[in-house]
Amino acid sequence: MRDHGGNLDWAMARWGAGDWLDLSTGINRRPYPMPALSGDDLRALPTQAAQQALVAAAREAWTVAPDFACLALGGAQAAIQLVPRLARAGRACVLAPTYNEHAACLRTEGWIVEDSRDLAALEGADLAVIVNPNNPDGRCTAQPALHALASRVGLLVVDESFADPLPDLSLLPHHPPENLLVLRSFGKFYGLAGLRLGFAFGPERLIGRLAAMAGPWPVSGPALAAGRVALGDRVWARMMRAQLAQDAARADTLAQAAGWDLVGGTPLFRLYHTPDAQAAQDHLARHHVWGRIFPWSSTLIRLGLPGGEGEWAQLAGALPRPSHGQVE
């Protein structure tokens, strides 16, 4: 199994069951209120009309340029798994460190994958991947730089799974190059990751091939119905962006008091430098708070943001008290 957040069952096996606060992902813990479902949302096969209504809601919510075709899928992960099959396997470059499923899925389909540390190193690749804003450090790449890069690679994949709180960053409102594919997640910002809903945007020729691979019912009836309602609620989205910005600042204040330094992040998660990431994760786990550390760093820990006041109190009580920069 690849290393991921959300592995709360592993934490419970080691630290015991109980009232856990899972901050190991960037999923919003202030979720959109799940709309009521009709009987047909569960009984009947999803209709083309329901899929089209969801896509229309997504296009409006994200101000998608008319040049982009769109496909709804069972999560952004579903798109990530299909993307390597859009072209003959060759040399792929991924702007790293980032979400590890991009490189892993490419390698599974026979691609030679290189981790790159800057945009220039991506040039010349048959396929290039950028997560924007990046997970886990929140690094952002502006639209002009991405469009310029598209002219220097075979296929450019931009994963905007964490872009909802930062709408000005998105490529979707802009006229797209013919070799650009943009991926979006629904579950992270709207906090309903269990619905498994995501989107791929790109030229008709690429979206058509993804649709053929995805099959006739790529999204469940409940996800179609709930996604359409949530994406149409612009007031909730505006209020949530403001709330998450406040929550991110609140988390940074708590982390600073614990002796951790902010490295980066987005309004959905924060990345901190600690003297010892494993010790920090273990300390939190003893208080049943689960954070995310990385096999490629001994000092970085990522935390999602708590939701209600009870969760904030649990995090505050779990954070270490600094003693000369060390975890007690």
Burial classification of residue 45, based on how many CB atoms lie within 10 Å of its CB (0-12 exposed, 13-18 middle, 19 or more buried): exposed
- What does the pLDDT read at residue 323? 65
Burial classification of residue 79, based on how many CB atoms lie within 10 Å of its CB (0-12 exposed, 13-18 middle, 19 or more buried): buried
Q: Tell me how far the alpha carbon of residue 75 is from its chain's centroid.
A: 10
Give the chain's domains with CATH numbers. Answer: 8-30+235-318 (3.90.1150.10), 39-232 (3.40.640.10)
| Cβ neighbours of residue 223 closer than 8 Å, sequence gap 6 or more | 74, 186, 195, 196, 197
Distance CA 94, CA 118 (A): 10
Q: Tell me how far the alpha carbon of residue 12 is from its chain's centroid.
A: 24
Q: Which amino acid is at 29?
A: R
Contact of 308 with 299, CB cutoff 8 Å:
no
* Tokens coding 296: 């490629």
- What does the pLDDT read at residue 67? 96
Distance CA 89, CA 132 (A): 24
Q: What is the DSSP letter of 210?
A: H
Contact of 167 with 60, CB cutoff 8 Å:
no
- What does the pLDDT read at residue 247? 98
Q: Alpha helix (H) ranges present in 62-191? A: 76-82, 101-108, 143-150, 187-190
Q: What DSSP line would sit under 214-251, residue for residue? A: H-S--S-HHHHHHHHHHHT-HHHHHHHHHHHHHHHHHH
Distance CA 81, CA 75 (A): 10
Question: If DSSP codes are grouped into helix, strand and coil, which group holds residue 37?
Answer: coil
Q: What is the pTM of this model?
A: 0.96
- What does the pLDDT read at residue 324? 45
> Mean pLDDT of successive 10-residue segments in the chain (328 residues)?
86 94 97 94 95 98 98 98 97 97 97 96 98 98 97 98 98 97 98 98 97 97 98 98 98 97 98 97 97 97 98 97 57
Distance CA 182, CA 184 (A): 7
Q: In 3-state terms, the chain is what percent helix, strand and coil (to 5)?
A: 40, 20, 40
